Amino acid sequence: MPQPLPLLLSPVTVGPLTLRNRVVMGSMHTGLDDRARHTDRLAAFYTERARHDVGLIVTGGCSPDVSGWLLPFGSMMATRRTADRHRAVTDAVHAEGGAIALQLLHAGRYGYSPLAAAPSSLKSPISPFRPRALTTAGVQRTVEHFVRAARLARRAGYDAVEIMGSEGYLLNQFLAARTNRRTDAWGGSADRRRHLPVEVVRRVVEAVGDDLAVVYRISLVDLVEDGQTWDDVLALAHELEQVGVHALGTGIGWHEARVPTILSQVPRAAWASLTARLRAHVDVPVMAANRINTPEVAERLLADGTADLVSMARPFLADPALVTKAAAGRSDEIMTCIACNQACLDATFANRTVSCLLNPRAGRETELVLLPVPETRRRAVAVVGAGPAGLATAVAAAERGLRVTLFDAADELGGQFRLAMRVPGKEEFAHALAAYDRQLQVRGVDVRLRTHVRPADVVGYDDVVVATGVVPRAVAFPGHDDPRVVSYAAVLAGDVVPGPRVAVIGAGGIGVDVSTFLVHEELPGDHGTSGPETVTHFLARWGVDETVSSPGGLAVRSAPAPARQVWLLQRKTSRIGAGLGRTSGWAHRMTLRDNGIEMIPGVSYDRFDDAGLHLTLPSGASRVLPVDHVVVCAGQESERSLYDALVAAGRTPYLVGGADVCAELDAERAIREGTELASRL
Ligand code: FAD
Ligand code: NAP
Ligand code: SF4
């Protein structure tokens, strides 16, 4: 049989380092990096990825000094004591045949710390702290601190250092006129703004380059006003090569940019053409990154000459065994990251340990363990409901060796999650369901669809897990029973195709998703639904100048006309969309605004009739929205009828996911609860 992924799995040399393959696990701040007491958990996290054949692991960003802290007392490499503590991590990775790079990251004005320092004293829009401007001597000391950190990385047993020069952190801040207003030797013209990153790399290569690979992560497009042009990027790349850098990683967009770079609505490998352009101009190996989430996409980028290595970060939270499965020709078992950011980046920004919506064991490798059940205790388990909670319970219980039957009344797996994948930008949710389907087969779960379970159906099972989820909540104003007042489930399932003017009741996550669906979904007669967006459309819609000839690579945004006129309503007076994800909510809100959706908080619903939906506004005034349909997205209620009937019949079933608590339910909680329950069965 031909070797799957021959390029991705082939070795590559980066400076003094030879890697077993071209797969890089990109840097992620895990929340375990910052405290010595978490070293064992951090080692376990990296070990699980190294054991599964990742070529090079890059750690979360580690500051060279206090002024570069991401957070107060955050991860820093400044003493021999710290370096010696890191040995636990590097030894664990090496024991699995892996290689590991320490990422050196000075946060600059992104530091969430009163001690933050930057090229100029300009506050960033994403941190409450105004940084102090580094003095000229302070810049020189910063170079020394990078060198010290690199030497300590060598002492700690790292194989490489990655110098973080993208995403709008300190070195990127020095490069851009937006943030570098200095008049000394480290600012002014573009070549003087390049001076610090080049000097850092020159000195680090000089200090450790014979022993460690030195990688610089270069920003290919800043996506902010007064950012770099492509000429600036190329000039930097050439100067870095001249001072001996061993490889170039790539980054896209600053954290404060208002263009999504890795969210689910970004097409896969959307930024690859920039990486290919860079590679054509340099001799050192180049790594592609950003919104690459499968080994097949990675292989394609190597085959078409885009890059020499491929970095994926979040995909290794979703599935640590991604490389091993791909190498064994079992890619269909990979749990592919759906780019939701919910349990990873949103958690980081909330100062919590990262994990993954699809893999709650990520970051909890030592705590959430699926121990095998001895042969004599292999009980028969009925799991009722194949939404995220039931799927996670069934897969994890079967992994432990329990005999699992999974029931669902529907004719397909997925529950509410199946509706989510109809939303533009959430198409990849389908991959998660396909992976669950495959994992059920591989683990021998007996799946019975189209089976509405009653207590008599589960009499012979030792344990019953009720994962019957939620049902949409109904509303009760006059006219609610009109056939033009419909639930989100009917609309997303395609049972109802709303007319050109629609009111959406409820502005939670589902109301926002349904509004997005309505403005994208073509009307009847327009020949069906739109699929995932193309890269060209995506870049045009978000105003990206692909040539990066303008500073920061920004262009005028050009959005297609919305398919419908939509009003999005809620009773609360708070800002609409305030409860959306920390790292994704802004993009959803921009999409709503770009599509002309009128958002009205603080309403009460009076009635629906042929004139439309009658509202009372917060001012007390009345308003009629002349709509063809009303789509109700007013939350959900737990579906507990099976549970109640089982209890009435004297059984003690387990309850999990939305069937247990519907308030603030999402797939992350449903999957986490299912996995945790399975670990205890
Ligand atoms: P459900 O998904 O409701 O599954 C319950 C299952 O039980 C159903 O398949 C049902 O058919 C079955 N069932 C019920 N009774 C019986 C019975 N008696 N016998 C047999 N089978 C039965 N969450 C996120 O985290 N991120 C998102 O981005 C996101 N986007 C969403 C977008 C949309 C449009 C929607 C609708 C939801 C979204 N969600 C999202 C929410 C997420 O899908 C739900 O929180 C999750 O599906 C709840 O999981 P569950 O397993 O508890 O219940
Ligand atoms: P939700 O977030 O609870 O929102 C329900 C909405 O309905 C609220 O806007 C609420 O606002 C309104 N509402 C509640 N009761 C009502 C009533 N009786 N009449 C009229 N309006 C009523 O729930 P959801 O939007 O259904 O989402 C369900 C879960 O899925 C959420 O936990 C969400 O996190 C998750 N989800 C997540 C994403 C994501 O991108 N992360 C996307 C979709 C869903 P008022 O009470 O102010 O009117
Ligand atoms: Fe990917 Fe979402 Fe998991 Fe983060 S939480 S790794 S974005 S699937």
Measured by CA distance, the residue closest to atom 41 of ligand 1 is 666
Are the beta carbons of 602 and 572 closer than 8 angstroms? yes
Distance 575 CA to ligand 3 centre (A): 26
The phi, psi pair for 267, rounded to 5°, reads: -60, 150
For residue 550, the CA-to-ligand 3 centroid distance in Å is 32
Ligand 1 contact via 415 beta carbon (within 6 Å): yes
Give CA–CA dist 581/587, Å, rounded.
10
CB-based contact 539:553 (threshold 8 Å): no
Can 488 be counted among the known catalytic residues?
no
Residue nearest to atom 15 of ligand 2 (CA): 634
Measured by CA distance, the residue closest to atom 35 of ligand 1 is 420
Q: Residue 510: CB within 6 Å of ligand 1?
A: yes
Please determine, for residue 520, whether its predicted confidence score (pLDDT) is greater than 90: no
Q: Please tell me the pTM assigned to this model.
A: 0.95
In this prediction, residue 530 carries a pLDDT of 44
Q: Quick one: CA torsion of 128, 134, 138, 140, rounded to 10 degrees? A: 110
Cα-to-centroid distance, 665 and ligand 2 (Å) = 10
Is residue 340 in contact with ligand 1, taking CB distance under 6 Å? Answer: yes
Q: Report the distance separating Cα 403 and Cα 678, nearest Å.
A: 12
The ligand whose atoms approach the alpha carbon of 345 most closely is 3
Question: Which residues are within 8 A (CB) of 633 and not within 5 positions of it... i.e. 6 or more apart?
Answer: 472, 488, 504, 505, 506, 507, 508, 510, 511, 514
Q: Whose CA is nearest to atom 15 of ligand 1?
A: 468
Of ligand 3's listed atoms, the one at least distance from the Cα of 293 is 1
In this predicted structure, the answer to whether residue 527 has a pLDDT above a threshold of 60 is no
CA dist 669 and 25 (Å) reads 26
Q: How far apart are CA 503 and CA 501, in angstroms?
A: 7
**Ligand 2 center–CA 570 separation, angstroms:** 9
- Under a CB-based contact definition with an 8 Å cutoff, are residues 41 and 366 in contact? yes
Note the pLDDT of residue 528: 36
Distance 571 CA to ligand 2 centre (A): 11
CB-based contact 60:69 (threshold 8 Å)? no
Q: Is the CB of 319 under 6 A from ligand 1?
A: no
**Cα–Cα distance for residue pair 576/571, rounded to 1 Å:** 10
Length of the chain: 681
Which listed ligand is nearest to 264 at the C-alpha? Answer: 3
Mean per-residue pLDDT, 84-107: 96
Residue with tokens 């664990």: 92
Question: Which pLDDT score is estimated for 296?
Answer: 94
CA–centroid distance, residue 84 to ligand 2 (Å):
49
Residue of the CA atom closest to atom 14 of ligand 1: 468
The one catalytic residue among 169, 436, 461, 643 = 169
* pLDDT band (50, 70, 90) for residue 532: low
Percent of the chain with pLDDT over 90: 88
**Which letter, b or e, does each residue of 195-213 get, where b requires 16 or more Cβ atoms within 10 Å of its Cβ?**
bbbbbbbbbbbebbbebbb
DSSP characters over 16-77: TEEESSSEEE-----SSSS-GGGHHHHHHHHHHHHHTT-SEEEEEEEBSSGGG-SSTT--B-
Q: Hey, whose CA ends up nearest to atom 6 of ligand 3?
A: 314
Note the ligand closest to the C-alpha atom of 470: 1
What pLDDT score was predicted for residue 526? 38
Q: What is the pLDDT of residue 37?
A: 78
Using the atom order of ligand 1, give the atom closest to the CA of residue 469.
53
Q: What is the pLDDT of residue 1?
A: 57
Query: Which residue's CA is minimally distant from atom 3 of ligand 3?
Result: 356
* Longest CA–CA separation in the chain, Å: 81
Ligand 2: centre distance to CA 663 (Å): 9
Atom of ligand 1 nearest to the CA of 388: 51
Q: What is the mean pLDDT of residues 362-379?
A: 92
CA of 112 to the centre of ligand 1 (A): 37
Residue 486 pLDDT > 80: yes
Specify which residues 465 forms β-bridges with.
383, 654
Lowest mean pLDDT among 83-87, 146-150, 353-357, 528-532: 528-532
Average per-residue pLDDT for the chain: 94
Closest ligand to the CA of 388? 1
Q: What is the DSSP string of 112-172?
A: SSTT-EESS----TT-SPPPEEPPHHHHHHHHHHHHHHHHHHHHTT-SEEEEEE-TTSHHH
Is the pLDDT at 467 greater than 60? The verdict is yes
Ligand 2 binding residues, C-beta < 6 A? 342, 473, 475, 505-511, 513, 570-572, 581, 633-636, 664-666
Residue 2 confidence class, pLDDT cut points 50, 70, 90: low
The protein residue with its alpha carbon nearest to ligand 2, atom 43, reads 509
Q: Which atom of ligand 3 is nearest to the CA of 355?
A: 5
Whole-number Å distance, alpha carbon 51 to ligand 2 midpoint, is 41
- Radius of gyration of the chain, Cα coordinates, nearest whole angstrom: 26
User: What ligand is nearest to the CA atom of residue 667?
Assistant: 1
> 621: exposed, middle or buried (C-beta count within 10 Å: 0-12, 13-18, 19+)?
exposed
* Ligand 1 pocket residue status of 509, Cβ below 6 Å: yes
CB-side neighbour CA atoms (13 Å) of 650: 1
What is the whole-number distance in angstroms between the Cα of residue 32 and the centre of ligand 1? 31
Q: Which residues line ligand 3 (CB under 6 A)?
A: 314, 317-318, 337-344, 356-358
- pLDDT category of residue 376 using cuts at 50, 70 and 90: confident
State whether the beta carbon of 397 lies less than 6 angstroms from ligand 1: no
Atom of ligand 3 nearest to the CA of 264: 7
Nearest C-alpha to atom 2 of ligand 2 is from which residue?
508
Give the range among 86-90, 405-409, 534-538, 643-647 with minimum mean pLDDT: 534-538
Map residue 212 onto helix, strand or coil.
coil
Is the model's pLDDT at 196 over the cut of 60? yes
- Comparing 348 with 660, the larger pLDDT belongs to 660
Pick 526 or 655 by higher pLDDT: 655
- Please give the DSSP secondary-structure letter assigned to residue 601: -
Tell me the helix, strand and coil percentages in the chain, rounded to 5: 35, 15, 50
Give pLDDT, residue 522: 61
Contacts of 226 by beta carbon, 8 Å cutoff, 6+ apart? 176, 177, 178, 551, 552
645 vs 127: which has the higher pLDDT: 645
- Residue 623 is predicted with a pLDDT of 97
Q: Any bridge partners for residue 61, and if so which? A: 103
Q: Would the pLDDT of 559 be above 90?
A: no
Residue 560 banded pLDDT, cuts 50, 70, 90: confident
Mean pLDDT of 195-201: 98
Average of per-residue pLDDT across 225-236: 98
Ligand number nearest CA of 316 is: 3
Name the nearest CA neighbour of 579 among 339, 256, 257, 342.
342
Query: Whose CA is closest to atom 3 on ligand 2?
Result: 635
